[in-house]
Amino acid sequence: QTKLLLFPLSSSCSASFHSSGETQIVSEQAIQREETMLQCIFLLSDSGEVMLEKQLTGNRVDRSICVWFWDQLLSHGDSFKQQPVIASPTHYLFQVVREGITFLACTQVEMPPLMAIEFLCRVADVLSDYLEGLNEDVIKDNFIIVYELLDEMMDNGHPLTTEPNILREMIAPPNIVSKMLSVVTGNSSNVSETLPGATSSCVPWRTTDIKYANNEVYVDLVEEMDAIINRDGILVKCEVFGEVQVNSHITGVPDLALSFVNPSVLDDVRFHPCVRYRPWESYQILSFVPPDGQFKLMSYRFRVRKLKSIPLYVKPQITSDGGSSRISVMVGIRNDPGKAIDSISVQFQLPSCVSSTDLTANHGVVNVLSNKVPTYVRSYEVVLKLILLSYCV
């Protein structure tokens, strides 16, 4: 008698034969999935304290890995902090830093680094949305909800439920009423007893039975320009990084379409999972069923091929006299028939050798912002921020 044990996860399978006559067919994808998993997630404060530890598999990761990580951070400084993937003597580490909090994931097997980094970014976004901000006090005050969210977002080290709308149906966000009820009843769990209907839907990012008195959608294009201007004021290089942010309040399950005037200039586009890829590939049209509330529909980048002048002009002048230097920056708005600019913010960094500054501006406000000085930094950076309220400085 021959017994077949099938794991129908992939068409690619391997078979093994045993002396008892039993044949076992195991999917290679199932084996690979078992190997590619995260083992633990740590949340570290800006002082190196382990605020939260979540073991994801049966193979427990000791906290000594955090001690090794922080020692390396103290030794190498910012260069080590900017590395998203780190190989320790015993584990592979993945780190994402948000608002001074380090999200550190560990594994001992080979796995796609981008999957781990993307998951940590999603965890940071979900926590920031749930807790209305990220800092050490908020994490400690709501550590039960953080644990509950990680339980739902991971299954044995693999990403499971990461859509904020589904998570909100499964775990209620913290509020004053829920905290008072937990104190009175002694039940601190916020997890729903029923499974959300969106988990079995073809659009899991959208909750069911959404109703509004007025249907409305707001679309914002937020762009950041990165430009290099030579000493003569000529534009050398210019790139624009943009995001399409949507705030949707529509009843039911709407199907929307969004088009651009000249989509061919967009490069490195990244879409929310709700966007259908085929209409964009064929017609450069964004066709999607939006999530409820605010979300980032897409991000893009494009390089200005024909170098033109930007709406601003910047004319710096640097003079040195002995042990002191004088920096004068003139910023203004060109005569452009486009929309008026509400305000301008100019920021630049001074080297660590600067001991004192004397800042003045004929318009606007001047602020000196010094970063927090961690113990591993030998020197600190002084950032000059000049907020202009008129056309010229």
pLDDT digits (tens, 9 = 90+) for 345-374: 777 776 667 667 777 777 777 776 654 333
Q: Are 192 and 172 in contact (CB under 8 A)?
A: yes
- Looking at the fold, whether 42 and 171 belong to one and the same domain comes out as yes
Query: What domain count does the chain have?
Result: 4
- Looking at the fold, whether 226 and 298 belong to one and the same domain comes out as yes
- Looking at the fold, whether 283 and 366 belong to one and the same domain comes out as no
pLDDT of residue 15: 42
- Looking at the fold, whether 336 and 280 belong to one and the same domain comes out as no
- Looking at the fold, whether 23 and 48 belong to one and the same domain comes out as no
Instruction: Compute the distance between CA of residue 217 and CA of residue 248 in angstroms, rounded to an integer.
Output: 5
| pLDDT (tens digit per residue) in 291-318 | 888 889 999 998 877 766 677 777 777 7
Residues of the chain with pLDDT under 50: 1-33, 371-393
Q: What is the DSSP letter of 191?
A: B
- Looking at the fold, whether 71 and 146 belong to one and the same domain comes out as yes
Residue 76: how many CB atoms within 10 A of its CB? 13
pLDDT of residue 298: 94
Instruction: Compute the distance between CA of residue 149 and CA of residue 143 in angstroms, rounded to an integer.
Output: 10
Instruction: Compute the distance between CA of residue 239 and CA of residue 228 in angstroms, rounded to an integer.
Output: 9
CB neighbours of 336 closer than 8 A, spacing ≥ 6?
A: 311
Query: For residue 178, is it within any domain?
Result: yes
Residue 126 corresponds to which tokens in the numbers above?
């979900």
Q: Hey, is 313 helix, strand or coil?
A: strand
Query: For residue 109, is it within any domain?
Result: yes
Instruction: Compute the distance between CA of residue 274 and CA of residue 118 in angstroms, rounded to an integer.
Output: 17
- Looking at the fold, whether 81 and 171 belong to one and the same domain comes out as yes
Which amino acid makes up residue 312?
L
Q: Are 29 and 9 in contact (CB under 8 A)?
A: yes
Which amino acid makes up residue 380?
Y
Which amino acid makes up residue 20?
S
Q: What's the longest Cα–Cα distance across the chain?
A: 94
CB neighbours of 242 closer than 8 A, spacing ≥ 6?
A: 221, 222, 223, 224, 299, 300, 301, 302
- Looking at the fold, whether 377 and 285 belong to one and the same domain comes out as no
pLDDT of residue 190: 59
- Looking at the fold, whether 99 and 161 belong to one and the same domain comes out as yes
- Cα torsion 206, 212, 216, 217 to 10°: value is -20
Range of the domain at 175: 36-200
pLDDT of residue 310: 74
pLDDT of residue 371: 46
Residue 157, domain CATH: 3.30.450.60
- Looking at the fold, whether 47 and 185 belong to one and the same domain comes out as yes
Torsion region of 209: left, alpha or beta (phi above 0 gives left; psi -120 to 50 gives alpha) = left
Tell me how far CA of residue 1 lies from CA of 8, 19, 21, 24, 188, in angstroms: 22, 12, 7, 13, 53
